[in-house]
Amino acid sequence: MATDETSPLLPTPELDSSIDNDNTMSSTLLWKTGAVFGATAVGLGAFGAHGLKKSISDPHKLANWSTAAQYQLVHSVALLVASNNPVAGALFTAGMTMFSGSLYALTLDTERFRFMGPVTPLGGLCLIAGWLALAFGKRGAGTRWPRF
């Protein structure tokens, strides 16, 4: 982009299409991540409700699995909403991975994955921070959904 005395100091999307392309790529990646996390939440929730009961009888473990699937599903939708906010999107992704992932692992084999116990609250903090980033982050004028 050539500059002259009439050029703005900061690039605008009209003058620098790479800004729009970067935002669209990030937004599309977050959108697809949210959709995949949502699909896996439904699948893992169904597995917990039907298949897992055959091998795990502890109601607390089954409740933990259900909580993991529920939080993953809710935050998958939040990730779709946050697709134009990369900070909130990254926090939701990390939070779901740590929070729900550690609960799934601990439910399947508490002894083997005991080291993941402290990961669960860290994931919860990421989820909380994601909501705060969504609340206080920059919201684009006329929020657009990603192009596929």
The reply to whether 31 falls in a domain is yes
The reply to whether 57 falls in a domain is yes
Judge whether residue 104 has pLDDT over 50. Answer: yes
| Residue-wise pLDDT tens digits, 15-28 | 545 445 667 888 99
Per the structure, the count of domains in the chain is: 1
Q: How confident is the model over 107-114, as a mean pLDDT?
A: 96
Q: What is the DSSP string of 88-133?
A: HHHHHHHHHHHHHHHHHHHHH-TTTTGGGTTHHHHHHHHHHHHHHH
The answer to whether the Cα torsion of 108, 114, 117, 118 is positive or negative is negative
The reply to whether 72 falls in a domain is yes
The reply to whether 5 falls in a domain is no
Specify the higher pLDDT residue, 12 or 124: 124
| Residue-wise pLDDT tens digits, 29-44 | 999 999 999 999 999 9
Q: What is the DSSP string of 1-20?
A: ----TTS-SS--TTT-HHHH
Q: How confident is the model over 102-126, as a mean pLDDT?
A: 97
Give residue 127's domain range. Answer: 21-136
Judge whether residue 8 has pLDDT over 70. Answer: no
Average pLDDT value over all residues in the chain: 87
Per-residue pLDDT, 142: 46
* Lowest mean pLDDT segment, chosen from 61-75, 112-126, 132-146: 132-146
The reply to whether 6 falls in a domain is no
DSSP 8-state assignment for residue 144 = -
Specify the higher pLDDT residue, 58 or 142: 58
The reply to whether 1 falls in a domain is no
What is the model's pTM?
A: 0.79
Cβ pair 146, 28 in contact under 8 A: yes
The reply to whether 52 falls in a domain is yes
- Reference 19, options 132, 140, 133; nearest CA is 140
Judge whether residue 141 has pLDDT over 50. Answer: no
Per-residue pLDDT, 22: 62
Judge whether residue 144 has pLDDT over 70. Answer: no
Cα 41 to Cα 69: distance, rounded to the nearest angstrom: 5
